[in-house]
Structures are given as structure tokens and as C-alpha cells.
Copies of this chain bind each other. A is one copy, B any other.
Amino acid sequence: MDTYELRPIGWVESPLRERESAPCQGDEGAPPAWLVLDAAMAPGLRDLAVGDEVILLTWLHRARRDELSTHPRGDVRRPQSGVFSTRSPDRPNPIGLHIVQITEIDGTRIRVRHLEALDQTPIVDIKPLLEARSER
């Protein structure tokens, strides 16, 4: 099957530096972070606003791509699950999916609340949360 090239549009600036210190989910005590977007992306970002909740897609660049089973939440006391039933970062295509709220916008730097992604994680997309029927 063909492969496809992901080209990051920016990266995460966060105090989180190690997987061991990162919470499993953003609502489990993750710190605020900056999304530092490439300046060339400015026209695509212009309608984002403080207060918006968005879906952030990242590339979890420190993940293992050869895992198909994992202990949920990294807890070895729990039985292994197939990775497609978990949110483990270790999976064939380690795309991270995060719901974040925008708290500040400074040019193409976007501040968000509660992001569990590590510092320097590449950003691949930002999408609006759809409330019922909305934009495409």
C-alpha cells in the first residue's frame, strides 16, 4: 500500500519533557502549552479565537510503531488490550488527538489549556469541534 508524507505545521512548546511525567489525558492535570505554528500557516489560522475548543492532531514522535497490544494506561496489572481499543501513544501511526481550549493568540503562537503532549511534539492539524451539525 502507498505511504503518505505528514509535514508538520508547527510544534508544541510545553514544560513536559519526558513521557514518564506526562499525564495520560489532558484533563488529568496537564499544563498549559504553546502551539507554535509555522508562519506560512497564518491564513489558515485567522478564524481561530480565544475561547474556542479545537481538536489538535499531533505526531507522537517518541512512540513505538510496532506495538499492537498494550496494558491500558501503562498499568501492567491490567490485562493487555489491542491498541485500537486504547489511546496508547504506541501504535502503527502514532497520531495524538487532543481536545484543547485556546486561551491566548499571539500571531501564529496559540496558547492552550491542559495539553498532555511533550515539548517539541510535531503538530499536524487543527480542526473545529463540531457541535451537532456545523461547518465542514
Residue of B nearest to A55 (CB): B97
Per assembly, the copies of the chain total 2
Chain B residue contacts of A6, Cβ below 8 A: 3-6, 93
A68 contacts the other chain (CB 8 A): yes
- Count of interface residues, chain A, beta-carbon cutoff 8 Å: 55
Known: A91-B125, A127-B87. A135 touches B81 (CB 8 A): yes
Chain B residue contacts of A9, Cβ below 8 A: 92-93
Chain B residue contacts of A93, Cβ below 8 A: 6-7, 9, 57, 124-125
A14 contacts the other chain (CB 8 A): no
A101 contacts the other chain (CB 8 A): no
Chain B residue contacts of A32, Cβ below 8 A: none
Q: How far is B61's CA from A86's CA once the two chains are assembled, in angstroms? A: 26
A104 contacts the other chain (CB 8 A): no
Chain B residue contacts of A3, Cβ below 8 A: 5-8
Q: Once the chains bind, are A1 and B122 in contact (CB under 8 Å)?
A: yes
